[in-house]
Amino acid sequence: MGGNLITGRGQAAYRLELARGFLEEARQDKVLERWRSAVDGAQLAVENAGKAALALAGQIGRTHNPATQLRRLIGEERFDPAYSEKLERLAELAELLGPDIHVQTDYGDEVEGRTPWELFDEADAGQALVVAEEAVSLANQLISKESHEQ
């Protein structure tokens, strides 16, 4: 283990690569009709897309909800104002597929006694993929723009 923690643009690129990988797995899971897995992969894609954007402002704290940190950093003007609209949209998407979805895809609904496989269907997988596609696209645009300006 050991070594130095990657930060800044390196961390952003790493998180973007994670987001792309989870998005690709989610697409594959949808084709295979594994709805729960597709939603889980989409959630992780969105989470990592949000964390990729956060990395542009510095180190990322441990969270499954990057929307909160994104909004705080937007308010603190830690990002270029030209990014505000894309960052705000990314925060919205991160809330749509936030930590509550992460918990449901892993544990189901413990109160109702429903397993994760009972909670998600084809429509849920399709909607989650639409959200994830947009989030990864936004993160890619933000990181590409940042790289070109450096």
C-alpha to C-alpha distance for 74 and 115, rounded to whole angstroms: 37
Confidence of residue 1 (pLDDT cuts 50, 70, 90): very low
Q: Is residue 147 scored above 60 in pLDDT?
A: no
The CATH number of 8-149 is 1.20.120.330
Inter-residue contact 14 to 6 (CB < 8 Å): yes
Neighbours of 119 (CB within 10 A): 18
Question: Closest by alpha carbon to 25, among 51, 11, 45?
Answer: 45
Spell out the domain ranges in the chain: 8-149
Kindly calculate the radius of gyration of the chain based on its CA atoms and give it in whole angstroms. Answer: 16
Q: Is residue 5 scored above 70 in pLDDT?
A: no
Question: Closest by alpha carbon to 53, among 23, 101, 19, 102?
Answer: 19
- 112-139 pLDDT, tens digit per residue, is 999 999 999 999 999 999 999 999 999 9
What percentage of residues in the chain have a pLDDT greater than 70? Answer: 91
Work out the mean pLDDT of the chain and round it to a whole number: 92
- 20-56 pLDDT, tens digit per residue, is 999 999 999 999 999 999 999 999 999 999 999 999 9
